[in-house]
Amino acid sequence: MKFDVLTVFPEYFDVLHESLLGKALSQGILSVDVVNIRDYSKDKHKKTDDAPYGGGAGMVMTVDPIVSAVEAVDPNHDALRIYMSPKGRTLCQSKVESLAKKDRILLLCGDYEGVDERALTLCIDEEISIGDYVLTGGELPALVLINAVARYVDGVLGSEESTSEESFADGLLEYPHYTRPEEYRGLKVPDVLLKGDHNEINRWRLQKSVETTMQRRPDLLAAKDIAPFMPKKKRKHRS
Ligand code: 21W
């Protein structure tokens, strides 16, 4: 899976070399090309923004450096071209899963008040937000999207924490985790986790997940489709 990121702040993306994603990048399982939009400015001062027509506060990213950068990076429009935008559809896990099926994704990051609308008209397939709060630009949202999608790329996660198998616990909040020591400041690890009865452990974890989800995110329970986990109906047949 290949990402192209267009930004005027390429250093934000240095963080991709940390942790699990850094390993996937060095193994070539994942690739992220970060392109500085400034390199495509024809202006003698490499300017990439200007004052808004109609007036108002802030600056707007100019159309030509963006269109030139997109056309240089993706001349045949092979990539799904996404603009990280506060006006976009909010990213969710099912969207992350569908993005993970793409071979190539181009992410345009806006800064300041945003980009000239004509850059979106000419170049962009869809707009995505990461939630209803105000940030200073699209770089952190792009990192969030890459991080969420990369987990679905084969080889990024170990086989242990793989995203593949469907379970009743999907769409529920996590059960509590414990590791050594068995007791810390009088707080004990629940007995059930020490006894090694894995059926009992699984029942306990599922119960904790349902309990926590009911308390904190009842909306998740309401949205949950339990049909795949119900016993199959016996088919009626004649005589
Ligand atoms: C935020 C630019 C707000 C402009 C009405 C007119 C990308 C983002 C961003 C940003 C404004 C995402 C105003 C969640 C985000 C992003 C920068 C509007 C005030 N209101 N997902 N002018 N949150 N943010 N400025 O902020 O580029 S995806």
Q: Residue 158 falls within a domain, yes or no?
A: no
Straight-line distance from the first to the last Cα atom of the chain, in angstroms, rounded to the nearest whole number? 55
Token pair of 94 as six digits: 């099912």
CA atoms of 1 and 29, how far apart (whole Å): 7
Residue 164 has pLDDT above 80, yes or no: no
Q: At what angle do helices 19-26 and 139-150 cross, to 10 degrees?
A: 70
pLDDT at 238: 81
For ligand 1, say whether the CB of 52 is within 6 Å of any of its atoms.
no
Let me know whether 7 and 110 are in one domain: yes
Q: How far is the CA of 149 from the centre of ligand 1 (A)?
A: 22
Residue 165 has pLDDT above 70, yes or no: no
| pLDDT grade for 169, boundaries at 50, 70 and 90 | confident
CATH number for the domain that contains residue 88: 3.40.1280.10
Give the nearest ligand 1 atom to 57 CA: 22
| pLDDT grade for 25, boundaries at 50, 70 and 90 | very high
Percent of the chain past pLDDT 70, that is, above it, reads 99
Let me know whether 50 and 133 are in one domain: yes
Q: How many domains does the chain have?
A: 2
Give the nearest ligand 1 atom to 134 CA: 26
For ligand 1, say whether the CB of 141 is within 6 Å of any of its atoms.
yes
pLDDT at 226: 79
Average pLDDT score over residue span 33-55: 98
Write out the residue range of the structural domain in which residue 227 sits: 165-232
Q: How far is the CA of 102 from the centre of ligand 1 (A)?
A: 26
Substitution candidate for ligand 1 out of 129, 132, 140, 146 with most atoms within 8 A of CB: 129
How confident is the model over 173-224, as pLDDT tens digits? 999 999 999 999 999 999 999 999 999 999 999 999 999 999 999 999 998 8
Let me know whether 180 and 134 are in one domain: no
CA atoms of 156 and 170, how far apart (whole Å): 20
pLDDT at 141: 98
For ligand 1, say whether the CB of 8 is within 6 Å of any of its atoms.
no
- Cα–Cα distances in angstroms (integers) from residue 219 to residues 96, 129, 139, 196, 224, in the given order: 20, 21, 30, 33, 9
pLDDT at 75: 98
Q: Residue 16 falls within a domain, yes or no?
A: yes
pLDDT at 174: 95
Residue 7 has pLDDT above 80, yes or no: yes
Q: How does DSSP classify residue 194?
A: T
Nearest alpha carbon, ligand 1 atom 4: 113
Substitution candidate for ligand 1 out of 113, 117, 145 with most atoms within 8 A of CB: 113
| pLDDT grade for 232, boundaries at 50, 70 and 90 | confident
DSSP 20-41: HHHHHHHTTSSEEEEEEGGGG-
pLDDT at 56: 97
Let me know whether 49 and 140 are in one domain: yes
Let me know whether 6 and 91 are in one domain: yes
Let me know whether 185 and 92 are in one domain: no
Let me know whether 39 and 70 are in one domain: yes
For ligand 1, say whether the CB of 138 is within 6 Å of any of its atoms.
yes
Predicted model pTM: 0.94
Let me know whether 44 and 108 are in one domain: yes
CA atoms of 168 and 190, how far apart (whole Å): 22
Let me know whether 21 and 71 are in one domain: yes
For 9-15, which contacts have Cβ atoms below 8 Å and span 24 or more sequence positions? 9/109, 9/111, 9/137, 9/139, 10/34, 10/35, 10/36, 12/139, 12/140, 12/143, 13/139, 13/142, 13/143, 15/143
For ligand 1, say whether the CB of 60 is within 6 Å of any of its atoms.
no
Residue 129 has pLDDT above 70, yes or no: yes
Q: Residue 155 falls within a domain, yes or no?
A: no
Let me know whether 126 and 207 are in one domain: no
